[in-house]
Chain A
Amino acid sequence: MTNDNGLSYLLPGILIVLPLVPALLLAVVRGQAMRSAVVWTGALAVAAGSVWLAAGHLSGPPLALAFDLPWLDRAVAGAGLLVSLYMLFACRGIVKREWWIPVLIVAQTVVMVLVEVAGPRAERPIVIDQLSLVMALIIGIVGGLICIYALTYMEDYHRHHPEVSDRKPLFFFLLFAFLSAMFGIVFSNHLGWMHCCWEVTTLCSFLLIGYSRTEEARRNAFRAMGFNAVGGLSFGVAIWWQLHNGRAIELDSMAAMGSAALVPAVLIGFAGLTKSAQLPFSSWLLGAMVAPTPVSALLHSSTMVKAGVFAVLKFAPVFHGHTAGYLIALVGGATFLATSLAAISMSNAKLVLAYSTIANLGLVVACAGVGSPEAVWAGMMLIIFHAISKGLLFLAVGAVEHRTGSRDIEDMEGLLATRRALGIVMIVGIIGMFLAPFGMLVAKWTCLKAFVEVNPLLAILLAYGSAPTLFFWTKWLGKVISVPGAARPAVGPLSANEWAAVGTLAVLTVCACVLFPLVSDYAVAPYLARQYAGAMVAPAGVGIMALMLGLLVLAIMAFIFYPPRGQVSARYLAGANMGAAGNTFRGPLGEVTPASRNYYLMGFFPEGKIILGGSLASIALMIVALAAVLR
């Protein structure tokens, strides 16, 4: 199934190489104006490239590029080895209790050498199907926007943190290199190539998390590298297993093999679990929060963790109907429940976002583990909606943080009133994450339906996990929309770069909600039809969802054009109001400004215990899953 059209034949390769051009340029250019020009050009080129590729190949059969270039194979393998060696070299910075990290990297390197000795060959090293294209669009568009956002953010960052040495050239080099590696992961059909790109993302995230070089950042960077090395090792063993048994190492043929590919599927699925920070590996992603916000946004929305769920989702047809698959799904379900509960007690906005990311990835993993067409439909939709909304939220929180000096949700009180536009984009991001009729809920709805058909257990986990989601998002939303109680520091305007990213993502969030049936018809349904031999999944309830959305729009319109009028009354303060506006009250020591804090219920939902419980459950499930396939 090769395509003769020369340019589109080359485009995937170009897309992988393309981000490296701005990356290398950014490594050498100094000066904000020059950097700005390169980043804008690079981001637009990457976005345009991914859109072009998607436009050409979204309909129709997957684009398989068959070629045999031994030198390229060797180059990729060599690059992988170099990455491993560099990571080993970086390990000179470890502390005593991190001894296990170099051990894992050495083990992984040994496996890579073994694999190389076995001589991996793939007839079609690159295959692009709709899942890859959806991922490519996310990487290209959301990733590109985050790079643009980073331009102003990093300037501010270094102004706010004079103690951090300015290594912006490295930073921007890494951002674009990250995108390149991500394209590599989603386009590779050759497992060895994918593994190499996988390692590159681990290395990039290690360097980005440790950007500030503080002790905390370094430790967290090493933790990220260590946990991802666990996955990298598992990935390598999967390739070795295939070669050892004389089987193909092509992703598409493995996915079509069914239960014969269960062992490597579980091993690569395990790697995906580490990369997507599922319990018990969640702490690396939380630790990654020390990095500048664009890094968090990139790791959470378009890259890194999405690579993890992408790998698991690729093997969904293999997991379908198998105990091992269901056990992996339960790992996702347990992660979803535990991290949703843990997010309740967080008042740090970035930590809420981090836990919510892990929870939603858990849901995608659950979908992939169940592996039925409906579940995979929901999984793909979750990836799309989550990437856009979460990217938006991270960037919005970063923008607020740089203007108020706080990322605490309590300090976002009255944001809608003090800075309307920023407040609105944050509201769009939040409701996009959890409310009907918006995207994530559509996917969650399909999840419930898909899960209950197999076994109610996963659906019950989802039911329990949804409730805390409702709680922590709504209380955040409540803070943003409330009228400010006390005088808040004025929030300065956003720069053009920030608006370009935040505004586009907000528009995309709304568009994704409105246009999800089209996304389903043109991208997700064709993929499923091919993976599951004619399975038809149409989004259900589109009419009613559209009706709800329409009513909501009407309500907003009605409010804008016919705003309610009437007496303005001071808030009720037991009659003890003071001041002209009546916003303060007379207390025992004079004038008091009332302040209300949200409930965080730390005693009732202790983060540590919840995560520990979830981790133990996940570990048990993983062990049983491994036992189930090796039996």
Chain B
Amino acid sequence: MTGLVGAVAFVVLAPVVGGLIAGLDRILSARLQARVGPPVLQPFWDVLKLLSKRRALVTVFQEYYAGCFLLFAIVAGAIFFGGGDLLLTVFSLALAGVFLVLGAYAPNSPYSTIGAERELLQMMAYEPMLLIAALGCFMATGSFHVDAIYAHPTALVGRLPGVFLGLLFVLTIKLRKSPFDLSASHHAHQELVRGLTTEFSGPTLALVEVGHWYETVLLLGLVYLFLAALGPWVALAGVVVVYALEVLADNIFARLTWRVTVASAWTVAAILGATNLLAVHYLKQ
């Protein structure tokens, strides 16, 4: 029952929270650049405006893929906040990502195809670390279920410091922050054409934006999970610090190449993530 409440709460509240986070992100970025920045509600205005524009698509399939991206981003989060299986959350997130990529492939436009390829490279870069994080949660708590992991008495970050750091590393990729925003930057003005989302417009682009909000909340929820046992305030503060660091990184780094992205994400997953898992395994014996 509590699971259902969590899932429904996510479906209803995540776009609100995600939009606010996006607004705060833009203000913080502006302040880091000595600007004032937009109002905090700006992302909502953006989405409402996009929804009121006329559809203009190369192929109607784009709308379908964008809709499925949103749908499965919601499913992934609902599984997570409903206390469901962590691996299934990761798989569902991957499914959502695949739909987004297909949406970028569908128009067969050179710019958006390159965006799709680069998005796939990003997915390939972060996927091992996300799975390792899920495996780490199981090894530390004995369960893949988020509710059981959440209820675990000791903080995961204590047992899995490497996994946590590795997760923060790939979070940068997943949140589309520099230096790993290969396929499309989170901020429109940092782009020449806008990679992955080049051919999305109007309501279809709005679906992608909202899907991204859901993803952001889900990912920050994952960060929270590692700190949950420290108490809600400490954990929340931790999440805020993590996000602020991501924004900082976004503003102080230039974009790196895909080679560096894939190589570094895999190396980090191996050195911090895999080593941590093996250490937990062998120390337990």
CB-CB under 8 A from A169, the residues of chain B are none
Assess whether B127 is in contact with A572, with CB atoms less than 8 Å apart. no
Chain B: which residue is nearest A565 at the CB level? B55
B105 at interface, CB cutoff 8 A: yes
Residues 108-131 of B, flagged 1 when their CB comes within 8 A of A and 0 if not, give: 111111101100110111011001
Give bound CA distance, A485 to B105, whole Å: 11
B217 at interface, CB cutoff 8 A: no
A468 at interface, CB cutoff 8 A: yes
| Contact flag A596-B110 (CB < 8 Å), given A448-B131, A541-B85, A568-B57 | yes
One of B68, B87, B124 near A470 (C-beta < 8 A): B124
Assess whether B92 is in contact with A482, with CB atoms less than 8 Å apart. no
Secondary structure at chain B's binding surface: helix, strand, loop or mixed? helix
Assess whether B132 is in contact with A448, with CB atoms less than 8 Å apart. no
CB distance from B223 to the nearest CB of A (A): 19
Q: How many residues of A contact B (CB 8 A)?
A: 61
CB-CB under 8 A from A555, the residues of chain B are 64, 67-68, 71
CB distance from B210 to the nearest CB of A (A): 16
B94 at interface, CB cutoff 8 A: yes
At the interface with chain A, which of B42-50, B193-201, B230-238?
B193-201
Q: Which of B71, B75, B95, B199 has the most CB of A within 10 A?
A: B95
Chain A: which residue is nearest B275 at the CB level? A460
A392 at interface, CB cutoff 8 A: no
| Contact flag A567-B56 (CB < 8 Å), given A456-B278, A478-B105, A485-B108 | yes
Assess whether B88 is in contact with A456, with CB atoms less than 8 Å apart. no
Assess whether A460 is in contact with B60, with CB atoms less than 8 Å apart. no
Residues 123-162 of B, flagged 1 when their CB comes within 8 A of A and 0 if not, give: 1110110011001001100001000000000000000000
B173 at interface, CB cutoff 8 A: no
Assess whether B124 is in contact with A468, with CB atoms less than 8 Å apart. yes
Assess whether B58 is in contact with A436, with CB atoms less than 8 Å apart. no
One of B101, B135, B201, B266 near A448 (C-beta < 8 A): B135
Assess whether A483 is in contact with B58, with CB atoms less than 8 Å apart. yes
Chain B: which residue is nearest A413 at the CB level? B108
One of B58, B111, B135, B277 near A569 (C-beta < 8 A): B58
Assess whether A566 is in contact with B64, with CB atoms less than 8 Å apart. no
Assess whether A482 is in contact with B198, with CB atoms less than 8 Å apart. no
One of B84, B124, B125, B139 near A456 (C-beta < 8 A): B139
One of B55, B113, B128 near A464 (C-beta < 8 A): B128
Assess whether A571 is in contact with B123, with CB atoms less than 8 Å apart. no
Assess whether A467 is in contact with B199, with CB atoms less than 8 Å apart. no
CB-CB under 8 A from A574, the residues of chain B are 193
Chain B: which residue is nearest A594 at the CB level? B110
Chain B: which residue is nearest A465 at the CB level? B128
Residues 560-598 of A contacting B (Cβ, < 8 Å):
563-574, 594, 596, 598
Assess whether A463 is in contact with B127, with CB atoms less than 8 Å apart. yes
| Contact flag A572-B111 (CB < 8 Å), given A470-B120, A477-B102, A566-B56 | yes
B21 at interface, CB cutoff 8 A: no
Residues 252-285 of B, flagged 1 when their CB comes within 8 A of A and 0 if not, give: 0000000100100010010001100110110000
Assess whether B55 is in contact with A445, with CB atoms less than 8 Å apart. no
B15 at interface, CB cutoff 8 A: no
CB-CB under 8 A from A474, the residues of chain B are 98, 101-102, 120, 123
Assess whether B117 is in contact with A475, with CB atoms less than 8 Å apart. yes
Chain A: which residue is nearest B202 at the CB level? A566
| Contact flag A445-B91 (CB < 8 Å), given A463-B131, A564-B57 | yes
B59 at interface, CB cutoff 8 A: yes
Assess whether A599 is in contact with B87, with CB atoms less than 8 Å apart. no
CB distance from A26 to the nearest CB of B (A): 43
Chain B: which residue is nearest A462 at the CB level? B131
Residues 211-222 of B, flagged 1 when their CB comes within 8 A of A and 0 if not, give: 000000000000
Give bound CA distance, A564 to B61, whole Å: 8
CB-CB under 8 A from A565, the residues of chain B are 55, 60
Assess whether A449 is in contact with B84, with CB atoms less than 8 Å apart. no
CB distance from A443 to the nearest CB of B (A): 12
CB distance from B47 to the nearest CB of A (A): 17
Assess whether A552 is in contact with B106, with CB atoms less than 8 Å apart. no
CB-CB under 8 A from B281, the residues of chain A are 455-456
Give bound CA distance, A547 to B262, whole Å: 33
Assess whether B85 is in contact with A470, with CB atoms less than 8 Å apart. no
A548 at interface, CB cutoff 8 A: yes
A551 at interface, CB cutoff 8 A: yes
A531 at interface, CB cutoff 8 A: no
CB-defined A-B contacts under 8 Å, sample of 11: A414-B108, A445-B87, A445-B88, A460-B274, A466-B131, A467-B124, A477-B105, A571-B58, A572-B109, A572-B199, A599-B120
Chain A to chain B: the 9 pairs with minimum beta-carbon distance, closest first: A566-B55, A478-B105, A571-B109, A463-B131, A467-B127, A482-B108, A564-B63, A596-B113, A436-B91
